[in-house]
Amino acid sequence: MRLGTVAVTGAAGNIGSVVRKALRGEATRVILLDRVPLRPEAGNEDVHTIDLRDADAVESALAGADQVVHLGGVPDEAPLTDLLDANVLGTHHVLEAARRLGTERVVLASSNRVTGFYPVGHLTRSQEPARPDGLYGVSKAAIEVLGQLYADKFDLSVISLRIGSFESVPTEPRHLATWLSPRDAVGYIRAALTAPTSTRFATVYAVSANTRRFWEIPDPAVLDYTPVDNAELYAVDIAGADLPTDPAAPQAGSYALPEFTLPHLRS
């Protein structure tokens, strides 16, 4: 299925760079947004250097986009004011621009960290209540709720992907459950872009087909993508992969420790 005009925020980031390369061969036009200056690498690419906190600039850059893949924002733990500013307000500007411009769909990059305090022994489903493992997880829970609001109130089609551990290959024991390969990341995003327009809102985990995963793979009726990669193939090269895992331990691993968030709180 040939895509129309797709905009990608955070196009200079790790995931954005991979998605950019994939989409320029599938979309009629690709609009790339980032704070980092980019140069067009194909004839169907348009680039915009903008800050997502600038609502007018966001709306101007997204003009003409049929769909938006929103990957931009602060990607890890930070002071809450920074996360609210870049992640929540930035997402609001993207959703509001999409509403005003009549965009068909927005794909939001949420995070597995929205539910990091569920135990390893629990298969977590996207419909379960949020249990964020830190301030970053709180900001991603907020953007999911914003997406739900715009779907319910303004009939904007929004699909929220809870991104796993995006790495070229898994490198630590937790990745054996949480890894999201570049190939599967593109597969999930492509499926989200091409899902029926009747899908008004959905939240799903974007994770590879890992033997040890503790998140539910999407129901094909909600998002029709079956992941193909499995972190278990790399287990032999990962130190500690053969050690037993406490089923009561939080899925977030070290992200759930107080020490991970304390540096970002007032002393």
Written as tens digits, the pLDDT of the chain (267 aa) is: 689 999 999 999 999 999 999 999 999 999 999 999 999 999 999 999 999 999 999 999 999 999 999 999 999 999 999 999 999 999 999 999 999 999 999 999 999 999 999 999 999 999 999 999 999 999 999 999 999 999 999 999 999 999 999 999 999 999 999 999 999 999 999 999 999 988 999 999 999 999 999 999 999 999 999 999 999 999 999 999 999 999 999 999 999 999 999 999 987
Whole-Å CA distances, 109 to 44, 60, 71, 121: 23, 21, 5, 25
Candidates 118, 136, 205, 255; catalytic one: 136
∠ at Cα 223 (220, 227), nearest 5°? 75
| Structural domain boundaries enclosing 208 | 3-264
For the entire predicted model, the pTM comes to: 0.97
Single-letter code of the amino acid located at 30: V
Phi, then psi, of 179 in degrees rounded to 5 = -60, 135
Our answer to whether residue 136 is catalytic in this structure is: yes
Domain CATH code at residue 172: 3.40.50.720
Whole-Å CA distances, 20 to 16, 29, 103: 6, 11, 19
Total structural domains within the chain: 1
Whole-Å CA distances, 33 to 8, 60, 154, 204, 210: 6, 11, 24, 24, 32
Nearest alpha-carbon partner for 159 in 202, 210, 113, 104: 202
Residue 2: per-residue pLDDT: 80
Residue 1: per-residue pLDDT: 64
Cα–Cα distance measured from residue 134 to residue 252, given in angstroms and rounded to the nearest whole number: 10
Q: Which residues contact 175 (CB under 8 A, 6 or more apart)?
A: 165, 167, 231, 238
Give the H or E element holding residue 157. strand 157-163
Whole-Å CA distances, 35 to 23, 72, 162, 163, 202: 20, 9, 23, 22, 28
How many angstroms from the chain centroid is the CA of residue 27? Answer: 20
Q: Which two tokens stand for residue 72?
A: 């931009």
Q: State the greatest distance between any 2 C-alpha atoms of the chain, in Å, as a whole number.
A: 53
